[in-house]
Amino acid sequence: MSKHEKIGPEVESSLINADAQVESFRQTRNNRRTELVEDYVELIADLIEDGGEARQVDIAQRLGVAQPTVAKMLKRLISEGYIQQRRYRGIFLTEAGQKLAELCRERHHIVESFLCSIGVSPETARIDAEGMEHHASAETLEAFKAFLARATPPRRVAGQA
């Protein structure tokens, strides 16, 4: 089936190939499942970098959610091997958590820089990048980086020297 198959006189279907659509939706669902994990890990890394520690109360405040919601997610992050939590000592990233946080930051900076380079205001770019970073493929991120490298004048990727 072509991208736009004729379904009658002068009428074309806008449906893509069924297998391609299944894969597209599968990837989107997977991205949604990991989005919250990535947001928490990135925030924990930011809190540790800024203040030397990440606490449940601070995470709840920054995300605008209740502490029991944070507690539930922290249990998930522990089970997935991204954090360690010690009684009375706060939350710490494991090596896997640190790697994920670095990857998330890099994706965010690439997307934010790209958006700014096409004229989006810095504040809007920051907000939009927060959602888009989780759904951009490696190919798309590489294209954004290549665009930024070719931009006149050359654009610096936010957060990188």
Q: What is the domain extent for residue 27? A: 20-97
Residue 8 falls inside a structural domain = no
Residue 59 falls inside a structural domain = yes
What CATH number has the domain bearing residue 42?
Answer: 1.10.10.10
Phi, psi of 11 (to 5 degrees): -120, 130
Whether residues 81 and 50 share a domain: the answer is: yes
**Per the confidence metrics, is the pTM higher than 0.85?**
no
Number of domains in the chain: 2
The model's pLDDT over 34-91, given as tens digits with 9 standing for 90+, comes to: 789 999 999 999 999 998 889 999 999 999 999 999 999 999 999 999 999 988 889 9
pLDDT at position 31 over 60: no
Which of 9-13, 74-78, 99-103, 137-141 is predicted least confidently? 9-13
- Closest listed residue to residue 57, CA positions, set 25, 93, 91: 91
